[in-house]
């Protein structure tokens, strides 16, 4: 099956390159450093040391992995920490967080040649994959090179499990290459075992996303943002990581809020943060076409009191911007995309509102809803009345914020448990 997969991948490779070039029309970073995706990059002295390879895909996985990466740098100073991402946004966030402390390149495309070249240059002793990154050639050749493989912070929704089940033998082959799977929850673990993972390779340790800590620097920067003249004293509605179709829904709810009789809501500021940078211009145009006065975060100047919307068109600032919010709406949930991380808002003590599609973060959403820290709309339920109720009820917001922080406090510890699993695998001959 892996040979057939590789042959199909090689056949589709020209289309993959063309797709990268097409995407680069909006996001030029996609056409840069293409050699790295073929496993071609300059070796550095750091690679003379034994290596731990962490694959973090994009921004969300990179942010989630940040505390773990810090721990690995502390625990294994004699190792080179090799971190790969797939997207330019993940690359940018990683460089901003770690600079030269880690060796970063794009992950090789999952073909025998690129993967083997990458492994020859890096020679990792441990491959640590974040969440559900299963690639047949990456797993096969890593194991063939004597590298231990750990799937960390693993999650597997029912829909994803059904997709893997259709691949049959290829899925079982991949799962047998894993030395250990550290799952976020019991349900995720059951799905992995049902697909063919040996039960002895499964550990349920919780999600490392609960271990998020807001450092003093970001807390101060968020406080400074709230003191800016165009933000100070105004309720701030933040729509985080929005997808196509969601901005229109949020803008309609925002229009209803601004048209209400409440004087505070009439001054409400919308902080709108699209998920993908290639859509920044599109969303800016949409807001302007509807007649809103829009400030852009990328301009480097604070919004004015007369501005209606602050467009978060910068990379890696969502956690900071959440610190200025009064209420957060989680993108990817108002349309059928499975939602995004709800725990960053909870860490700030901010009430969370989502749409009905939260299957990618089902456990986190369930815990927050159960504690009274989060509200989820039902199918067809309107967003504006829920937001109006929260934005005009300071006491309820405080109670929801306290409940959200308590959920995080009660579920911490996954990073520490994951560090123990890493140590166990590195001790093995």
Q: Give the single-character DSSP code of 304.
A: P
Model confidence pLDDT, tens digit, residues 253-280: 999 999 998 999 999 999 999 998 889 9
CATH number of the domain within which 332 lies: 3.40.50.2000
**Average pLDDT of the chain, as a whole number:** 93
**Is the same domain home to 15 and 147?**
yes
**Is the same domain home to 9 and 149?**
yes
**Is the same domain home to 24 and 172?**
yes
Query: How confident is the model at residue 60, as a pLDDT?
Result: 76
**Is the same domain home to 338 and 302?**
yes
Q: Is residue 223 part of a domain?
A: yes
Residue pair 208/67 in contact (Cβ under 8 Å)? The answer is yes
**Is the same domain home to 228 and 286?**
yes
Q: Is residue 259 part of a domain?
A: yes
Three-class SS state of 382: coil
For residue 43, is pLDDT > 80? no
**Is the same domain home to 233 and 374?**
yes
Q: Is residue 264 part of a domain?
A: yes
Residue pair 347/214 in contact (Cβ under 8 Å)? The answer is yes
35: domain range? 2-206+413-427
CATH number of the domain within which 56 lies: 3.40.50.11720
**Average pLDDT, stretch 321-338?**
97
Is beta strand 352-354 parallel, antiparallel or unpaired with respect to 374-376?
parallel
Crossing angle for the helix pair 246-258 and 383-391, to the nearest 10 degrees: 50
**Is the same domain home to 193 and 278?**
no
Residue pair 327/350 in contact (Cβ under 8 Å)? The answer is yes
pTM for the model stands at: 0.86
Q: Is residue 211 part of a domain?
A: no
For the record, the structure tokens of 325 come out as 């919010």
Q: What confidence tier does 138 reach under pLDDT thresholds 50, 70, 90?
A: very high
Q: Is residue 166 part of a domain?
A: yes
Q: Is the dihedral of CA 71, 105, 120, 44 positive or negative?
A: negative
**Is the same domain home to 196 and 307?**
no
**Is the same domain home to 123 and 236?**
no
Query: How confident is the model at residue 121, as a pLDDT?
Result: 93
**Which among 61, 131, 278, 344 is annotated as catalytic?**
61
DSSP assignment string, 118-185: HHHHH-EEEEEEESS---HHHHHHHHHTT-EEEEEEE---HHHHHHHHHTTHHHHHHHHT-SEEEESS
**Is the same domain home to 236 and 120?**
no
For residue 26, is pLDDT > 80? no
Q: What are phi and psi of 105, to 5 degrees?
A: -145, 165
**Is the same domain home to 177 and 313?**
no
Q: What confidence tier does 208 reach under pLDDT thresholds 50, 70, 90?
A: very high
% of the chain surpassing 90 pLDDT = 79
Reply yes or no on whether 100 is catalytic.
no
Query: How confident is the model at residue 268, as a pLDDT?
Result: 97
Model confidence pLDDT, tens digit, residues 355-414: 999 998 988 999 999 999 999 999 889 999 999 999 999 999 999 999 999 999 999 999
**Is the same domain home to 284 and 330?**
yes
Q: What confidence tier does 329 reach under pLDDT thresholds 50, 70, 90?
A: very high
- Number of domains, the chain: 2
Query: How confident is the model at residue 299, as a pLDDT?
Result: 94
Query: How confident is the model at residue 374, as a pLDDT?
Result: 98
Residue pair 371/404 in contact (Cβ under 8 Å)? The answer is yes
């Amino acid at each position: 099956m892996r040979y057939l997969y590789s042959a199909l991948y090689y056949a589709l490779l020209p289309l993959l390159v063309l797709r990268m070039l097409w995407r680069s029309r909006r996001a030029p970073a996609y056409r840069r450093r293409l050699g790295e995706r073929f496993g071609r990059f300059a070796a550095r002295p750091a690679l003379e040391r034994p290596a731990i390879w962490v694959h973090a895909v994009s921004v969300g996985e990179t942010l989630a992995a940040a505390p773990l990466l810090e721990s690995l740098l502390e625990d294994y100073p004699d190792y080179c920490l090799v971190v790969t991402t797939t997207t330019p946004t993940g690359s940018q966030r990683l460089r901003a967080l770690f600079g030269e402390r880690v060796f970063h390149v794009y992950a090789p495309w999952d073909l025998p040649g690129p993967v083997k070249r990458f492994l020859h240059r890096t020679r990792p002793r441990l491959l640590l994959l974040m969440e559900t990154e299963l690639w047949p050639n990456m797993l096969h050749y890593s194991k063939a090179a004597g590298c231990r493989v750990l799937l960390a912070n693993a999650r597997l929704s029912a829909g994803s499990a059904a997709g893997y089940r259709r691949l049959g033998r290829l899925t079982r082959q991949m799962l047998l290459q894993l030395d250990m799977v550290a799952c976020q929850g019991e349900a995720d673990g059951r799905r992995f075992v049902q697909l063919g993972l040996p039960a002895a390779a499964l550990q349920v340790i919780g999600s490392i996303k609960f271990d998020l800590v807001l450092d003093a620097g970001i807390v101060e920067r968020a406080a400074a943002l709230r003191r800016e003249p165009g933000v100070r004293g105004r309720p701030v509605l933040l729509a985080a990581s929005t997808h196509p179709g969601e901005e229109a829904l949020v803008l309609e709810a925002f229009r209803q809020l601004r048209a209400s009789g409440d004087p505070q809501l009439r001054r409400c500021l919308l902080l709108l943060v699209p998920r993908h940078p290639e859509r920044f211009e599109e969303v800016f145009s949409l807001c302007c076409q509807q007649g809103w006065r829009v400030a852009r975060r990328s301009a480097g100047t604070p919004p004015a009191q007369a501005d209606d919307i602050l467009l978060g068109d910068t990379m890696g600032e969502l956690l900071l911007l959440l610190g200025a919010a009064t209420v957060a709406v989680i993108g990817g949930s108002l349309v059928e995309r499975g939602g995004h991380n709800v725990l960053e808002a909870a860490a700030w003590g901010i009430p969370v509102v989502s749409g009905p599609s939260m299957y990618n973060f089902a456990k986190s959403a369930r815990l927050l809803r159960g504690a009274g820290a989060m509200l989820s709309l039902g199918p067809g339920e309107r967003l504006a009345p829920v937001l109006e109720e929260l934005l005009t009820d300071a006491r309820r917001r405080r109670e929801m914020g306290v409940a959200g922080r308590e959920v995080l406090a009660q579920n911490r510890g996954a990073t520490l448990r994951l560090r123990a699993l890493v140590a166990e695998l590195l001790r093995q001959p």
